[in-house]
Amino acid sequence: MLCLQIPFLVVFLYIIYRKGFANPDPSDADQRKLSRVDGLWVTFVIILFLGINIASIEYMPPISSARAVSTQQNIRDVDVTAESWSYEMSAREFEVGQAVRFSAKSADTMHSFAIYHPDGRMLFTMMLMPGLETPASIVHTFTEPGIYKVRCLEYCGAAHHEMRDEIVVK
């Protein structure tokens, strides 16, 4: 987003400065040239926006999950239930390179299920809403061993800060 916002802000401030201080008179620019520049600028922004979005598609969780499902034969299913400041998981130990399908649901209120790499980077998060018939799910393949932190990122009550767990990847 900053790649789009910073150039826009610079151009915007330059135009405001020019009209406010350098030359406050009405513009004597040819309107045809001005509309051509506007068209080029809009075209540039659209192409840049589309390029960034197309380049980032493979990192979107639904796409990466679909890719993992299509390339893996052995996907380990893990059921997760979030409730009153704890997680109930059907497994907490995994192997490097094994695809894991986390199917998570909330038993009481809004929660989230976020897994953090041992170096502190968030790998993914899922929003868990109570009352849904089907659980939220994502497929993830762990590529490095370590102790991964599990946290709730949705404020869920007085002991929200205590809602954490760990999984081990060997």
Q: β-strands 75-83, 86-89: how paired?
A: antiparallel
pTM, full prediction: 0.65
Per the structure, how many domains does the chain have?
2
Instruction: Say yes or no to pLDDT of 19 above 90.
Output: no
Q: Say yes or no: 55 and 71 in one domain.
A: no
Q: For 84-134, where are the E strands, in sequence order?
A: 86-89, 93-94, 99-106, 111-116, 122-128
User: Measured between alpha carbons, how far is 38 from 18 in angstroms, rounded to an integer?
Assistant: 17
**Does one domain contain both 40 and 72?**
no
Q: Do 78 and 17 fall into the same domain?
A: no
What is the mean pLDDT of the segment spanning 42-51?
89
Q: What digits encode the pLDDT tens for the residues 112-132?
A: 999 999 999 999 999 999 989
Could you tell me the CATH number of the domain that includes residue 152?
2.60.40.420
d(CA 116, CA 68): 19
Neighbours of 150 (CB within 10 A): 19
d(CA 68, CA 107): 28
**Tens of pLDDT along 71-84?**
767 889 999 999 98
Mean confidence (pLDDT) of the chain: 86
123, 39: one domain: no
Both 65 and 109 in one domain: the answer is yes
100 in the same domain as 33: no
Residue 105 belongs to domain spanning? 61-169
Which of these three, 15, 33, 59, is where a domain ends?
A: 59
